[in-house]
Amino acid sequence: MSKQFDVIVIGGGPGGYIAAIRAAQLGKNVACVDEWKNAKGGPAPGGTCTNVGCIPSKALLQSSEHFEQASHHFADHGITVKGLSMDAAKMVARKDAVVKQNNDGILYLFKKNKVSFFHGRASFVKAVDGGYEIKVAGAAEETLVGQQIIVATGSNARALPGAAFDETMVLSNEGALALTDVPKKLGLIGSGVIGLEMGSVWRRLGSEVTILEGLPDFLGAVDQQIAKEAHKAFVKQGLRIELGVKVGDIKVGKKGVSVAWTNAKGEAQTLDVDKLIVSIGRVPNTTGLNAEAVGLKLDERGAIVVDGDCKTNLPGVWAVGDVVRGPMLAHKAEEEGVAVAERIAGQHGHVNFNTVPWVIYTSPEIAWVGRTEQQLKSDGVAYKAGTFPFLANGRARALGDTTGMVKMLADATTDEILGVHIVGPMASELIAECVLAMEFRASSEDIARVCHAHPSLSESTKEAALAVDKRTLNF
Ligand code: NAI
In sequence order, what DSSP letters do the residues of 232-255 get, joined into one string? HHHHHHT-EEE-S-EEEEEEE-SS
| 367 in the same domain as 293 | no
* Nearest one of 150, 152, 106 to 8, comparing CA atoms: 150
Q: Is residue 345 part of a domain?
A: yes
Last residue of a domain, one of 279, 294, 314: 279
**Catalytic (active site) residue 66:** no
Evaluate: CB of 367 within 6 angstroms of ligand 1: no
Ligand 1 center from residue 328 Cα (angstroms): 10
The pLDDT, as a whole number, for residue 366 is 98
Segment 384-433, tens digit of pLDDT: 999 999 999 999 999 999 999 999 999 999 999 999 999 999 999 999 99
Give Cα 185 to chain centroid, integer Å.
25
* Nearest one of 437, 456, 287, 282 to 369, comparing CA atoms: 437
Q: Is residue 473 part of a domain?
A: no
Last residue of a domain, one of 279, 314, 330: 279
The pLDDT, as a whole number, for residue 139 is 83
Segment 349-394, tens digit of pLDDT: 999 999 999 999 999 999 999 999 999 999 999 999 999 999 999 9
What is the spatial distance between Cα 473 and Cα 416, in angstroms, rounded to a whole number? 21
Ligand 1 center from residue 341 Cα (angstroms): 29
Q: Which structural domain, as residue segments, surrounds residue 372?
A: 355-468
- Residue 267, amino acid: E
| 202 in the same domain as 81 | no
**Closest residue (by CA) to atom 32 of ligand 1?**
328
Evaluate: CB of 281 within 6 angstroms of ligand 1: yes
Cβ partners under 8 Å of residue 437, min gap 6: 417, 420, 446, 447
Ligand 1 center from residue 74 Cα (angstroms): 33
The pLDDT, as a whole number, for residue 1 is 75
Which residue of 49, 224, 249, 282 sits with most ligand 1 atoms within 8 Å of its CB, as the best mutation to test the pocket? 282
Domain count of the chain?
A: 3
CA distances from 272 to 151, 175, 214, 234, 258 (A): 41, 19, 18, 21, 4
The pLDDT, as a whole number, for residue 140 is 83
The CATH code of the domain that includes 326 is 3.50.50.60
The CATH code of the domain that includes 369 is 3.30.390.30
Ligand 1 center from residue 106 Cα (angstroms): 27
Which residue of 49, 171, 193 sits with most ligand 1 atoms within 8 Å of its CB, as the best mutation to test the pocket? 193
**Closest residue (by CA) to atom 40 of ligand 1?**
359
* Nearest one of 278, 330, 304 to 58, comparing CA atoms: 330
Q: Is residue 167 part of a domain?
A: no
| 221 in the same domain as 259 | yes
pLDDT at 275 over 80: yes
| 365 in the same domain as 335 | no
Q: Is residue 170 part of a domain?
A: no
Torsion-angle region of residue 21: left (phi > 0), alpha (psi -120 to 50) or beta? Answer: alpha
Which residue of 194, 198, 301 sits with most ligand 1 atoms within 8 Å of its CB, as the best mutation to test the pocket? 194
Mean pLDDT of 130-136: 96
Q: Is residue 164 part of a domain?
A: no
What is the spatial distance between Cα 325 and Cα 299, in angstroms, rounded to a whole number? 10
Mean pLDDT in the chain? Answer: 97
Last residue of a domain, one of 260, 279, 298: 279
What is the spatial distance between Cα 333 and Cα 16, in angstroms, rounded to a whole number? 8
Evaluate: CB of 326 within 6 angstroms of ligand 1: no
CA distances from 391 to 237, 400, 426 (A): 18, 10, 14
| 337 in the same domain as 214 | no
| 224 in the same domain as 77 | no
Q: Is residue 58 part of a domain?
A: yes
Please give the torsion angle defined by the CA atoms of residues 168, 203, 422 and 15, in that order, rounded to the nearest 10 degrees: 20
| 144 in the same domain as 7 | yes
Q: Is residue 141 part of a domain?
A: yes
| 205 in the same domain as 128 | no
| 313 in the same domain as 262 | no
Evaluate: CB of 278 within 6 angstroms of ligand 1: no
| 142 in the same domain as 12 | yes
